[in-house]
Structure 1
Amino acid sequence: MVLAIPTLPSELEIIQKCREACAANPKAFIRGTPLIDSTGTPYAWVRFGYSDVYMEDARTQQYVADIVKQDDAAPVRVPAVYSFFKSQLGRGYIVMELIDGEVCSNADADLVAAAVQYLIAIKAPTDQPGPIGGGPVCHTLFPDVRSSVTYSSVDWLEKHMNGILAHVGRPQRLSLKSQIKTYGLSLCPSDMRRKNFLKDREGKIVAINFDCTCFLPISFFEVALYHHDDFTHLIRQRIVYPTSAQSDTLYKALKTLVQFGTDKLGLPRELKAQTLRQ
């Protein structure tokens, strides 16, 4: 079934509707609001924010949505993206398909695990790690979720991770080449908390948040499964995924980043130049 794209209000009108949603709940942390037609029927959802809503998220979400919608047997849905724009103040807005559903509970762990199993089998269209179209890597390994630089290749990602380990005198070194040769770059949902999954009225799981999702070597998904969140733990028990000899080394790099609170340590000189231009 081809999804009909609704006629949307202007960007200024959408911004105003989001402001009204925030003003109506001044003590709540509002991150999204529906668009409602003249009959009172909601027809689209707007996700907005300053620090975690980016064009890269929208591109990756739409890429995955296009793949999923072509597979009637897919155990997961992904909302189609209708529009992305930024306000003059820098707030990002993703207008997407509205999903009628509820946030998943622990009882849905089997279904969510099947959805994640499907998602991590999706391969990158290029050999550049990160989101569709290029950009910083989005993963909970990084203190700010997004890397402070863009990696043009897996080699540069590997060099940076090893620079982090060397910065604190750890002897271990990461080698991603064998992973890439065997598995390539796969979709890596690194934030698998229940709030990022809905169950629609037909009982299908919907992945709704792509701000921590991009294409990475498989060891990055292994590290994401280490998260202490209880729902992630339930998924980890139910999913079968390729394992590597590199996840422990990568996890040591993660702990170093947590300790220092920045991913700018250990940067190769060529990547450090990016941060100077920002």
Structure 2
Amino acid sequence: MATHTNTIARQFAQDLNIQEFREFLKRQKYLDNNECKRTGFAYPEDNPLVWIKFGEGSDIVPEARTHRYAFRMLQQVPEEQRRNIYIPEVYRCITYLERAYMVMEYVRGRTMADLKCDTAFRAAFTAAGGQPHLDMLDRAIKLLLSFPVPENAAPGPYGGGLIRHPMFPSSRAWMRYYSVEELENHFNQTLGPRASLVPKITLERELHLVPGDLHDSNFMFTEAGDLYIIDFGQTCFLPLSLMTYAMREPTKWIASMLGEKLKDFPLPEKNQISLEQVSCVFGPY
């Protein structure tokens, strides 16, 4: 049930004048010749009601669709299963020229990236074996994977589009895939001469909502102990092998702290060596 604050914020978002916050961006030097210096800001500055994430429309619009879908699906999960796990509500997505602005619920909290830089938190986190934070992160990821997939969904964001996932250069596919078979064929073709050295890729036909970017800045904890999943830029409908790949990213602290696996949720291993080779052929990030 929406709180009074959410109701006010929702109305505020609907009344927003795009020129108003573009002027704010310029004053804060977040924009320079239409090039973004940052990707989001709290607004209004003195007493924030919303968080505004902005960037290229080709990135923000599909992210907003996926974010809204995940928000709706989480509301349908029984309360005891989603206890203390939240997704901020997206109030509005505004497009202006080639830019897009996603206006969402403002959450007061600290990301895992902020927390792990806090000496006191790190000491308590280590002493408690990472609990309860790791357990909540594990539950949050599994909740996303459990959401029902829309009929006729293809690999990519909700509503269709380019896959965003760390397997691809700059975490963005350069072509759209309309089926798992098409994605699988492209991966195998990409191997080229390496195909004789590694197993053929056989992707799972069932899609899941895969959070490909497990960066610790994408998960926020509040003082009340609630966990918010705050970024869906690289969350797409994908075969589970792509979740396994994301869990093994060496630069992602959360994945390493979870031991590159999920509790009571076996992830497929058979394609990983071959997928790593495909990513190498695709090129650097």
Q: Distance in 1 between matches of 2:148 and 2:274?
A: 24
2:174 corresponds in structure 1 to 148
Match of 2:156 among 109, 130, 139: 130
Matched, 1:95 2:103: yes
Cα distance in 1, alignment partners of residues 210 and 156 from structure 2: 9
3-state SS in 1 of match to 2:169 = coil
Shift of 1:84: 1.4
1:267 maps to none
Measure, in 1, the Cα distance between the counterparts of 2:139 and 2:234: 19
Match of 1:256 in 2: 281
In structure 2, list runs of 5 or more residues that go unmatched. Answer: 117-124, 126-132
Q: 2:245 maps to which residue?
A: 223
Counting only pairs closer than 5 Å after superposition, residues 181-260 of structure 1 correspond to structure 2 as 184-229=206-251, 230-237=253-260, 239-240=262-263, 241-244=265-268, 245-258=270-283
Residue 238 (structure 1) shift: 6.0
Percent identity of the aligned residues?
Answer: 25
* 1:157 alignment partner in structure 2: 183
User: Structure 1 residues 115 and 152 mapped into 2: Cα distance closer, same or farther (>3 Å)?
Assistant: same
Equivalent pairs counted in the alignment come to 249
Q: Tell me if the contact between 1:82 and 1:95 (Cα under 8 Å) persists in the aligned partners.
A: yes
Q: Which residue of 1 aligns with 2:86?
A: 77
Matched, 1:43 2:49: yes
Provide the rounded CA distance (Å) in 1 between the counterparts of 2:28 and 2:76.
Answer: 34
Counterpart Cα distance in 1 of 2:30 and 2:93: 22
- Seen in structure 2, the aligned counterparts of structure 1 residues 250 and 23 have a Cα distance that, compared at 3 Å, is closer
- In structure 2, give the amino acid aligned to 1:173: K
Q: Which moved more, 1:102-111 or 1:150-159?
A: 102-111
TM-score, structure 2 as length reference: 0.79
CA deviations 1:96-142 (Å, max 9, x no partner) are 11111111245333322221122222232133111110000110111
Shift of the 214–155 alpha-carbon distance from structure 1 to 2, 3 Å rule, reads: same
2:128 matched residue in structure 1: none
Letter in 1 for 2:200: R
2:201 equivalent in structure 1? 174
The answer as to whether partners of 2:30 and 2:37 remain within 8 angstroms in 1 is: no
**What does residue 272 of structure 1 align with?**
none
Residues 27-66 of structure 1: pairs in structure 2 closer than 5 A: 29-36=37-44, 40-50=46-56, 53-66=59-72
Between the aligned partners of 2:69 and 2:135, the Cα distance in structure 1 is 25
Secondary structure at the counterpart of residue 258 of structure 2? helix
Q: Give the conservation status (yes or no) of the 8 Å contact 2:49–2:105.
A: yes
The answer to whether the 8 A contact 1:191-1:224 is kept is yes
Question: Using the alignment, how far apart are the partners of 2:66 and 2:30 within structure 1?
Answer: 31
1:165–1:173 CA contact under 8 A, matched in 2 = no
SS in 2 for 1:150: coil
Q: CA RMSD in A?
A: 2.5
- 1:150: Cα distance to partner? 0.9
TM-score (normalizing by structure 1)? 0.81
8 Å contact from structure 1 (residues 193, 231) kept in 2? yes
Q: Is the 8 A contact 1:194 1:231 kept in 2?
A: yes
AA aligned opposite 1:207:
I
Q: Distance in 1 between matches of 2:62 and 2:43?
A: 23
Residues 1:10 and 2:17 aligned together: yes
1:76 deviates by 2.0
CA deviation after TM superposition for structure 1 residue 52, in Å: 7.9
